[in-house]
Chains A and B, each alone.
Chain A
Amino acid sequence: MQEFLQYLFSGITNGAIYAVIAIGFSMLYRSTDLINFAHGEFVMIGAMTMVTLTVAVQVPVMPAFIITVVGVSILGLVFERMAIRTVRRPEPIVLIIITVGASIFLRGLGMLVWGKDSHTMPAFTAHPPLDIAGARLLAQSIWIVAIAIAVAACLHLFYKRTLTGKAMHACAINKQAAWLVGIPSKLMTLLAFGLSTGMGAVAGVIIAPITMPAYDMGSMLGLKGFCAAMLGGLGSLWGSVLGGFLLGILEALGVGFVSSGLKDATAFLLLLLVLYFRPGGLISAVKVKRF
């Protein structure tokens, strides 16, 4: 029981992070029909920037958090403006190669800037771990889950309550019609990129204290985030959250009770299963074109 609880805690913590990354994928897909293969690198840049700011520059956690997320969002905007909007033939195969290229480029850049070593930073607050039925629960884990849920709730309100959020949704449904009623669809695409990469940064920031971030952490996290998004239903906010937690917990239990070599394979096996058998995800938000 104690062992199970321990794995469950670690699963929920990782799950919250996958959920935030998955939200980033989903929000972008919902507004632009695009999947950003470089999304994981924005998570990496978020984590590394956070470490640099808090450890090397000694900025307090709250301001460092905000600076990082805003900074990475701006990087996302620049990326959209320079690499996505300039594409002459925006077919999936072209955009896949461009975003994969961006991912490799950003990873290489990360290696130059931060070196090949792992970095460390202290937890947001210095509470001792809680003891629940013999299992240890880190204070940082509570931060991670709380922030993940808060972020999802804020986005939910943003889409439901604000005009901009509704406009973005309208663009997602029909770009041309949205343009006809006066919604600037290009601006919405830009905004979606900013939001999505900002989500990536949030994930990077909250994971930084518990994961020893390094330049090559991004692709694995990105892929797992995508897997979570697919699991819950790409394009659905709460589906992504659900998918994230589900993946985190399954992965932790797999490691705990089957084999540690299985950790990374779990996500990809799940990804393939979802793609093959239920491409709409557990909560169907989109229909995959399979003709």
Chain B
Amino acid sequence: MIRTDTHTIACIVFAAAALATGILIDDAYYLQVLIFIGINTLLALSLNMLMGYAGQISLGHAAFYGIGAYTTAILSTTYNLSPWLALPIAIFAAVTVAYIVGIPTLRLTGYYLGMGTLGFGMIVSIIFREWYSVTGGASGFVGIPPLEIGSFSFDTDQRYFFLVWGVVLFFFIICRRIVDSRVGRALRAIHDGEHAAAAVGVNTAAMKLSIFVLSAAMASLAGFLYAHQVFFISPETFSFLASIRIVTMVVIGGMASIWGSLLGASLLTLLPEWLHAFADYEMMVYGLVLMLVMIFLPQGLTRGIIDLYEKSRKNRNK
């Protein structure tokens, strides 16, 4: 109960901070970086629900991100459909694929699940690259329109900033509610022991499938937001490395931590911006960070910092 209250306060503070940031910052570069942080936070949050809470690894999550981006790109550009009509279709596409792929894949555990999701992600990225006539192939897809509501267009960075962070806040609330509910407890129970979870009455297969589908829908929404922000997408953005980037965000921020997703996404979006010559070292840094965090701070940075703080507070009280 106390936790829920702190979360409400955190949400209010967070919303106020986002509002202030959006109004005060009018530098296009910073706003764009913040927009990408928002999109990545949504992605990290979606994977965290699956990997952090339910304990089901996915090394192909960028596939759903890509399905969202490509579906809206193709419908709104090639077929001139309104993006707002493309959005439900994009989410429906991701949900359908997740459902069909999820049934056999989520029966796998451990390494096999890792390889299975990886193989799925690879196939989807090969489709993006090879289905030239529809996706534009390796050179990418250009000319995606901006979002509009009537005559109001989300064509400035400031407007897009509010849209993206509004969505992120919305999902923070939704995910917190899920985590604190009967469903969230069942997911964590599956993480701790799938056998035991089934033995106390949890339909583990159905539970894993529903969180996988939700996670895919969120990633697809992130892809939608991405496509209508950059107007150009290419298969690179949704490759294996992209899936690993999302995993890295979750691992750094902390598995099973909603606010950790924000931290992880922020760090991994800002790092390349800060380190100018980062591009050449990007992979090495990701790799090293993944290994070091998993070896020394398996709970992630957020939990690690909280643990340190609580330890010091305990010491002080003594």
Q: Which residues of A does B touch, CB under 8 Å?
A: 34-35, 37, 83, 86-89, 92-94, 96-98, 100-109, 111-112, 219, 223, 226-227, 230, 261, 264-265, 268-269, 271-272, 275-276, 279, 288-291
Majority secondary structure, B binding face: helix
Chain B's closest residue to A37 (CB) is: B114
Within 8 A of A (CB), among B27-44: none
Q: Are A105 and B287 in contact (CB under 8 A)?
A: yes
Given that A97-B247, A219-B240 are contacting pairs, would A106 and B287 also be in contact in the complex, using a CB cutoff of 8 Å? yes
Between A37, A96, A106, the greatest number of chain B beta carbons within 10 A of the residue's beta carbon is seen for A96
A194 vs B242: C-alpha distance in the bound complex, in angstroms? 30
Q: Are B290 and A97 in contact (CB under 8 A)?
A: yes
Q: Are A112 and B284 in contact (CB under 8 A)?
A: yes
Q: Which of B108, B126, B130, B244 makes the CB contact (< 8 A) with A100?
A: B244
Q: Are A93 and B55 in contact (CB under 8 A)?
A: yes
Q: Are B251 and A97 in contact (CB under 8 A)?
A: yes
Majority secondary structure, A binding face: helix
Q: How far is the CB of B85 from chain A (nearest CB, A)?
A: 30
Q: List 7 A-B contacts (CB under 8 A).
A: A92-B114, A102-B287, A261-B130, A269-B123, A271-B119, A276-B107, A279-B112
Q: Which of B119, B198, B244, B294 makes the CB contact (< 8 A) with A94?
A: B294
Q: Are B114 and A101 in contact (CB under 8 A)?
A: no
Chain B's closest residue to A38 (CB) is: B287
Q: Is the C-beta of B116 less than 8 angstroms from some C-beta in chain A?
A: yes
Q: How far is the CB of B108 from chain A (nearest CB, A)?
A: 6
Q: Are B110 and A93 in contact (CB under 8 A)?
A: yes
Q: Which of A101, A107, A230, A265 makes the CB contact (< 8 A) with B289?
A: A101
Q: Which residues of B does A touch, CB under 8 Å?
A: 51, 55, 57, 59, 104-105, 107-112, 114-116, 118-120, 122-123, 126-127, 130, 194-195, 198, 240-241, 244, 247, 251, 280-291, 294-295, 298
**Interchain pairs with CB closer than 8 A, number:** 139
Q: Which of A105, A268, A288 makes the CB contact (< 8 A) with B112?
A: A288
Q: Which of B59, B109, B114 makes the CB contact (< 8 A) with A290?
A: B109
Q: Which of A89, A105, A269, A291 makes the CB contact (< 8 A) with B291?
A: A105
Q: How far is the CB of A267 from chain B (nearest CB, A)?
A: 8
Q: Are B126 and A101 in contact (CB under 8 A)?
A: no
Q: Are B294 and A271 in contact (CB under 8 A)?
A: no
| Contact partners of B55 in chain A: CB under 8 A | 93
| Contact partners of A89 in chain B: CB under 8 A | 298
| Contact partners of B247 in chain A: CB under 8 A | 97, 100
Q: How far is the CB of B301 from chain A (nearest CB, A)?
A: 15
Given A88-B295, A265-B126; 10 other pairs, CB 8 A cutoff = A92-B111, A96-B110, A100-B114, A100-B247, A103-B287, A104-B290, A105-B283, A105-B291, A268-B120, A268-B126
Q: Which of B57, B287, B298 makes the CB contact (< 8 A) with A101?
A: B287
